[in-house]
Structure 1
């Protein structure tokens, strides 16, 4: 059904997949969780609980209208705070604090959902609170709605996990391969998609064999294909994966639906299937906790809203003082300075580093072109870096700054150790602000 296509750019950082053979284990629940209601792209959810309310695991605590995702309690216990406050990340958001009763009792009202058509299926996915668990946090149900006049030809399941250190998706494939394949088949059946491809990097041969075994065992070879893709970062980027599996190029500024594709992370599809089987919405996240500072690294199931500090303590603490703690992988993750920040739906790793944390000082760009060759989207990172630092909005527009996927390949290969990705990220913020400023008067005039 599918054939492998060549993609441009990319780099080969050390894989550091030391936790690949560590089975997922549940973590000791914390005494309290602080659950932000903005764990998705879109407007924050509105709280639907009050201080003093008793909640169970899976109880709805935040509801949304429009683009967004419902949010559910991750522990059973008592709501002790409903407020809007600044999080340790610097963002301001509505939050719900729950003090655990230690019982972790599931909400007795939960039950497996039913559906009879495409719209009802999408509504069920919405109720699950599911977002892109690979790190994007885009509401899954919204992705599944094809705009009028367009349709999905392929479901592309992203099982690449190309970021160094992270192994949570790999464990999902190894431990829940049947659920993954059932979730893929359920989705293409419900959304009337002709075929699906699961893209897996060739550094995960055991997962490839396991998924292929289940596909064959269930007799789904006519609709589902597992494709082995050469290991190269960022092969798991949405546009890159679509090119590799289908040969189609998503246009600049376009979306996967523009080339007939729906892209879903492998753990997302597995958790969607889990919801349809048992009725439990998204309340916890599998996170790879690793790095040379962690006493007991591994893959852990962690309640949403549990602080990074509590996670580290529950896994045995640290063996040395970290110089850097990253939420996510070293290529696209964010460095945190306050470990009281909560685990969110999009978090898939905590990497605490000492020996590998110090980066060389920046020097002047030498125009070597390595960043251009490494860019998977044919951009000019060195020029974007310069325009971002000078806040040159016209140049940022001409260089298509918003097309950057912030993969970090440019910074990785830069011999001058330029912080190109961080610079471009700032440039995007400047660009968005200027666009908002320029469009505001016309909007007011129309009103």
Structure 2
């Protein structure tokens, strides 16, 4: 069905997968949650509840239109406030604050969804509130719609989890492999897609063997193939994984559907199947809590909207105070300085570092070209770094800054310790603002 293809660039950072054998467990329940309405790519939802309303786990609290994903309550209790505020990311959004009653009661109106057509299936997925759970947070239902004139020829499921430290996807494959395989089959059949590839790095042989066994047991060998892919960061990048499994290259500025692929994270697939089996929307996130400061690191099931502060308390606190807190992995995650910020759908790890927080000072670029060799998309990171630092709009566009997926391979390989990805992010913001300014219609 599928043939492995060699991918360009990439690096081999230390794995630090110490939490791989720690089964997922519930975290101590929070006293309150603060759930933002913009936990997805697209238009923020509008709150549909008001202060003093009683809600249950799974109650709809935010809805929208266009490109969006509905938002649901992650605890049962009373809505204390609905306010618009600036989040730690710098973005303004409505936030629904719910005081938990400690009962954790599911909404009595939840029903197991049914469908008979492709459109009805996609509507069900939309109602689930599920987004890309690998970190992208793109609404899953929207991704399932092929534009007019295009069609999906393969589902490519991302079980790579190539970021150091993070093991939440691995635990999902080991603990809920049946949901992964059943979900993959359901999605393929509902969308009339003829084949499915599940890509897993070869440093996870247990997961590969486990899913392969389930595929055979469920009689799905002609539909689903589980592939062992050489370990190399960022093998889990969407475009990189498509090339590795199909040999196809997504064009610059293009989408996976342009080469006939629907790409989904392995936990996203499992959550879709869980929704169709139970009717329960996305209200929890499996997260790896790790680092050299945490007393009880592991993989935890965390309610959306729970603060980092309460997560720290829920896992027993610290052995020593962290110097750096990262939402996500060390390669692509973002440092936070506000432990009151809430967990959102895009978060799959929180890392707390003390010793490993200290980074070497930057020195001038020596034009060694290691960043170019490491880039999986064939870009010139050193040139983008320079263009961003001098706000060179033309150079940023010429060297295709918007094609960068910010994987951090360039930073890892740089002997001068240049903060290349940080520069590139600033360069993207600059290019967007300049493009908007230059294309804005002149006032009469």
Which category of TM-score, normalised to the shorter sequence, fits these structures?
over 0.9
For residues 354-386 of structure 1, the C-alpha deviation after alignment (integer angstroms, 9 at most, x for no partner) is: 111100000000000000000000000000000
* Whole-angstrom CA distance in 1 between matches of 2:105 and 2:120: 28
Secondary structure of 2:197's aligned partner: strand
Partner of 1:348: 348
Describe how 1:374-413 pairs up with structure 2 within 5 A.
Answer: 374-413=374-413
Mapped contact 1:89–1:341 kept (Cα < 8 A): no
Looking at structure 2, the residues matched to 306 and 436 of structure 1 have their Cα atoms a distance apart, in angstroms, of 36
Correspondence for 2:257: 257
- 1:113 is aligned to 113
The 5 Å alignment of 1:40-439 reads 40-439=40-439
SS at the partner of 2:157?
strand
Aligned to 2:14: 14
Q: Is residue 89–residue 338 contact of structure 1 (8 Å, CA) maintained in 2?
A: no
Residues 89-113 of structure 1 show CA distances to partners (whole Å, capped at 9, x for unaligned) of 3321111000000001000000110
Residues in 1 aligned to 2:306 and 2:353: alpha-carbon distance in whole angstroms: 21
> Which sections of structure 2, spanning at least 5 residues, go unmatched?
none
Off by >3 Å, runs of 4+ in structure 1: none
Structure 1 residue 396, shift from structure 2 partner: 0.4
| TM-score, with structure 1 as normaliser | 0.99
Task: Name the CA distance, whole Å, in 1 between partners of 2:3 and 2:228.
Answer: 10
Q: Secondary structure at the match of 2:271?
A: helix
1:356 is paired with a residue whose SS is helix
Q: Equivalents in 2 of 1:298, 1:255: separation in Å?
A: 35
In structure 1, distance between residues paired with 2:176 and 2:255: 29
Distance 1:196 1:64 in 2: 31
Asked if the contact 1:157–1:196 (Cα under 8 Å) also holds between the matched residues in 2, the reply is: yes
Task: Report the Cα offset of residue 441 of structure 1.
Answer: 1.0
- Following the alignment from structure 2 to structure 1, what is the Cα–Cα distance between the partners of residues 9 and 231? 12
Kindly provide the CA deviation profile for residues 320-353 of structure 1, in whole angstroms up to 9, marking residues without a partner as x.
0111110000000000011111000010000000
Residue 33 of structure 2 is matched in structure 1 by 33
TM-score when scaled to structure 2? 0.99
Which secondary structure does the structure 2 equivalent of 1:232 belong to? Answer: coil
Retained in 2: the 8 A contact 1:76–1:103? Answer: yes
- What is the root-mean-square deviation of aligned Cα atoms in Å? 0.8
Quote how far apart the aligned CAs of 1:64 are: 1.1
* CA distances 1:232-291 after superposition (whole Å, capped 9, x unpaired): 000000000000000000001100000000000000000000000000000010000000
Q: Give SS of 1:406's match.
A: coil
- d(CA) in 1 for partners of 2:153, 2:182: 19
Once the two structures are TM-superposed, the CA of residue 28 in structure 1 deviates from its matched residue by 1.3
Distance in 2 of aligned mates of 1:196 and 1:189: 10
**Residues of 1 paired with 2:75 and 2:105: CA distance?**
8
1:365 and 1:416 in contact (8 A); partners too: yes
| C-alpha distance in 2 between matches for 1:439 and 1:141 | 32
Measured after TM superposition, the shift of residue 29 of structure 1 is 1.1
The Cα of 1:117 is off from its aligned counterpart by 0.6
What CA distance in whole angstroms lies between the structure 2 residues aligned with 1:311 and 1:155?
Answer: 35
State the alpha-carbon separation in 2 of the partners of residues 393 and 59 from structure 1: 46
Q: Name the CA distance, whole Å, in 2 between partners of 1:427 and 1:375.
A: 17
Per-residue deviation, residues 41-83 of structure 1 (Å, max 9, x unmatched): 0010000000000000000000010001000000000000111
C-alpha distance in 2 between matches for 1:165 and 1:112 = 35
On the 8 A contact 1:201/1:230 being kept in 2, the answer is yes
Cα deviation 1:283-328 (Å, max 9, x = unaligned)? 0100000001000000000000000010011110000011111000
Q: Tell me the distance in 2 between the aligned counterparts of 1:295 and 1:340.
A: 20
**How far is the alpha carbon of 1:438 from its aligned partner?**
1.7
